[in-house]
Amino acid sequence: MASDGCEWSATRVRRTFLEYFEKNGHTFVPSSSVVPLSDPTLLFANAGMNQYKAIFLGTVDPQSDFAQLKRAVNTQKCIRAGGKHNDLEDVGKDSSHHTFFEMLGNWSFGDYFKKEAIFFSWDLLTNVYGLSPDRLYVTYFEGNEKGGLEPDIEAKEIWRSVGVPEDHILPGNMKDNFWEMGDQGPCGPCSEVHYDRIGGRNAAHLVNKDDPNVLEIWNNVFIQFNRESDRSLRSLPNKHVDTGMGFERLVSVLQDKPSNYDTDIFTPLFAKIQEVTGSRPYQGRFGAEDTDGVDTAYRVVADHVRMLAFAISDGGIPNNEGRGYVVRRVLRRGSRYARKYFNATIGNFFSQIVPTLVRQMEDMFPEIKLKETDIKEILDEEEESFSRTLDRGEKMFEHYAIKSTQQNSKKLDGAHVWRLYDTFGFPVDLTRLMAEERGLDIDDKEFENAQAKAKEASKGAKKATGVGLVKLDVHDLGKLERMGDIPKSDDSFKFERGNITAKIKAIYFQKEFLKSTKDIPSDGQLGLILDKTNFYAEQGGQEYDTGRILIDGVAELDVQNVQVYGGYVLHTGYVKYGSLSVDDEVLCEYDELRRWPIRNNHTGTHILNYALREVLGDGIDQKGSLVAEEKLRFDFSHKSAVSDTELQKIEDISTSYIRQNCRVYSKDVPLAVAREIEGVRAVFGETYPDPVRVVSVGVEVDDLLKDVKNKEWRKVSVEFCGGTHVQKTGDIKDLIILEESGIAKGIRRITAVTGEDAHQVQRVAEEFSKRLTALENMPFSPEKELLEKQTTMDLNKLSISAITKSKFWERFAKIHKQVLEELKGRQKAESKKAIDAMTMHLTHPENQEKQHFVVRLPISANAKALSDAINHVRSKAKDRTVYLFAADEREGKVVHGCYVSETQQHATKGGVSALEWSSVVSTIVGGKAGGKAPTSQGIGNDVAKVDEALGLAEKWLAEKLQL
């Protein structure tokens, strides 16, 4: 039996594990990021060994700390919620599955092996944690005759030697007890430790049988083979140990709890969830016993907030691709549980739980504290966006579910599942969960067919887009005016958040105004004019909104562009399904997740404009701008390039403004009054409406108007602007200048990013800085020479802070200079070595009478050194003929060449051509040769045939001269 659960808090369990192995010579290695940004093949870190892959594969940088690592211990943040390892759909249903968990581990890299690993495991579990040996069962690999693998009797005997009873040592098959990194690579037998929660019995027959009371807690992997490409196994020169113990499971065992969720890893989160929702307390019920589903919801929400917080803190930002979509799916799944079972308001639910999680984990994982504000903001942003469609999607699901029931069907139509995903943002696994609650299945094939059909239609629409954007010309505007009942669009709602309902006033297709879309083909681009809209039409440098205009479940227009013509806002796009008619009441839903970064970039542009004037003076006038989702661009008048020092000041002022978290105010003001505001920024020559919208960052517009000539307003960003902006500057997070360049005489351009894009370029810069550091510390070698060339190309393409990039070029210039100096020195040394070798050869007493030589030089495959040796012969012994070789097995390269004396070029028995001679040799070593008499040089790649080539060079010359 374990010690009293109160003694074994989660924090103490973790600390004890780490301290035990540190005392036994292991180096503590902090957990790597749960988002492996440098490994696109892996969605998330899903095991403790991920960060040690390079050591196991033998590709570790010899200059890195890891190259010297012999023993390591850590607790690794892991996520299994997508890809090959996906526990998402089991979370909440049982006591042990999680999307986020910690993996405790100890490693040996060519140091100790089975004996020590097994001793550590048994000693820690029984003597330190105090677990009863009677409740522990161990497994060893039973062998595999087909794979030519013997049973791991060594491990079995070691377990017996530490005191494990014979009937608690069990054989295991390839599936359970042989670990492989992949189809190829390091692998080996493993030995698991299982724990019986109940005790007082022999539970050997329940090991590896998915019994919740007999669970695996630790796995010791003995990496001793390499799986070759032909599936054969080769013994590794260095044998490694890789272990992993589920932290949450271990805590549940030590606290004598029947479930991971009953431990103090989760109870503080449950208490916070109860406080936020006012729900009943958690009671630990599963399956049919959880009649109201509330306990399952507690588990799902607590698990999901852990996964979301750690993924986001490490850079896993929700989006529609790869790991980003996994994060979005988890949040939407959790949001629906919170709304359905806790009746929680979605929009800022998860962010209220985050501080409790941070307090639990910040000592071990300080990054979660550093990123707490970002985590909460991103969660709120995502939740708020999903909240717009959650209600409507659930209603539509109910409609589809009732339809299935009325048709006596036990499954949800695949086309309906696709519609829930495409229109309402319901991930398929969320719809599957809802279907299960209603006793319905999902036909995955039907869903895939509906998805494929929609993609084909989308391809057709995109192809059709190539014909150009539908636009209103002067004649169309005249028609609209004459129609009389079509008002100019009220677009004031673009400055607000959320969806609105509007009425269709006109449908425009192929230069005609129609009453309905029913006869318009699916690839026909059309335009809608509404009485009012919340979509932003492209103007003032800010890009248009995208989104959808729809009647739920009836019809939908995919809005791909929005422009304004003479006060009429035209929403252009393609009908995805159904048909729309004039006077239909529709829902207008712009893409909030796209507009969010556009808002950041627009307010960022105002702040940048202010900072430019502060640093470069009042002569700075705006000459153009672009505010897009992925970047901002600002053109301004200035006679010379902006220096790095000036750019740094501009960035610093912008950052300071953002960090003040100022509110952003706006108000329509009579144009004549607005022009008088001290320091107001406006585009020279631009025609502004009257009244004009004034946007002020940090000071209310009414305060500006009380004293328009106050000199203090020059310290405030004040502009005429009709764009969308953030509510407070803190939303922008950061502003990073990517590039400063000239686009015309006296006109400069700055490109910058804000928000998460700014954080991403900072992460990229940090990774590249590590790469430069490794290159700086690397001793000279052919590998360094190759890396230096690759680094040049990569640095050129790198999209990071212009200031940081400039510093990187300075660092790289020093590296390049070192490499060049080393190459020059080595080249000089190689040339001298080659010339010295030829001098000795030519002057050796035995060679005094020889007129021709075939020689392999004692140098690398250095073409320049070989050429220098040939030229030495030509100048010092021009009456003698030579053929020289140099080869480098590591590079797989051969260089060769010859000099033919004038006497032998015109020999009476047979003239010798240098080019013909080297071309013959090239047939042996590969490649080709070239040159102009009396010399020729070639290059090849068949190093193994150098000796054969030497012989052929001798033979060919002898035959040619008939010697």
**Rounded to 5 degrees, what are φ and ψ at 573?**
170, -155
First to last CA, the chain: 94
Task: Give which of 45, 590, 1 is closest to 315, Cα–Cα.
Answer: 45
Q: Are 887 and 859 in contact (CB under 8 A)?
A: no
Task: Give which of 825, 821, 890 is closest to 861, Cα–Cα.
Answer: 890
Beta strands in 865-954 (DSSP E): 881-888, 893-899, 928-930, 935-940
Tell me if 721 is assigned to a ligand binding site.
yes
CA distances from 600 to 37, 215, 384, 728 (A): 24, 49, 17, 10
Query: In the structure encoding, which two tokens stand for residue 70, read together?
Result: 């012999």
Q: How far is the C-alpha of 461 from the C-alpha of 463, rounded, in Å?
A: 5
305-337 exposure pattern, b = at least 16 Cβ within 10 A, e = fewer: bbbbbbbbbbbbbbeeeebbebbbbbbbbbbbb
Strand pairing report for 136-141 and 169-172? parallel
Q: Are 163 and 122 in contact (CB under 8 A)?
A: yes
Q: Cβ–Cβ contacts within 10 Å for residue 725, how many? A: 24
Q: How far is the C-alpha of 503 from the C-alpha of 582, rounded, in Å?
A: 8
DSSP tag of 125: I
Residues 6+ apart with CB under 8 A from 166: 160
Q: What's the gap between Cα 326 and its chain centre?
A: 12
Q: Are 631 and 707 in contact (CB under 8 A)?
A: no
Q: How far is the C-alpha of 405 from the C-alpha of 508, rounded, in Å?
A: 40
Query: Looking at beta carbons, which pairs linking 904-910 to residues 24 or more positions away fall under 8 Å?
Result: 904/851, 904/852, 904/961, 905/933, 905/934, 907/961, 909/961, 909/962, 910/960, 910/961, 910/962
Concatenated DSSP letters of 145-179:
TTTTB---HHHHHHHHHTT--GGGEEEE-HHHHEE
Query: In the structure encoding, which two tokens stand for residue 766, read together?
Result: 């940090």
Coil, helix or strand for 279?
A: coil
In 689-742, where does DSSP find H-type helix? 701-706
Q: How far is the C-alpha of 259 from the C-alpha of 266, rounded, in Å?
A: 10
Q: Cβ–Cβ contacts within 10 Å for residue 754, how many? A: 28
Q: Which residues pair with 737 in a beta bridge?
A: 752
Residues 6+ apart with CB under 8 A from 457: 522, 523, 576
Residues 6+ apart with CB under 8 A from 44: 34, 35, 36, 78, 79, 80, 81, 82, 83, 311, 316, 323, 326
Q: Are 860 and 886 in contact (CB under 8 A)?
A: yes
Coil, helix or strand for 73?
A: strand
Tell me if 606 is assigned to a ligand binding site.
yes
Tell me if 602 is assigned to a ligand binding site.
yes
Indicate the annotated binding residues for Zn(2+). Answer: 602, 606, 721, 725
Indicate the annotated binding residues. Answer: 602, 606, 721, 725
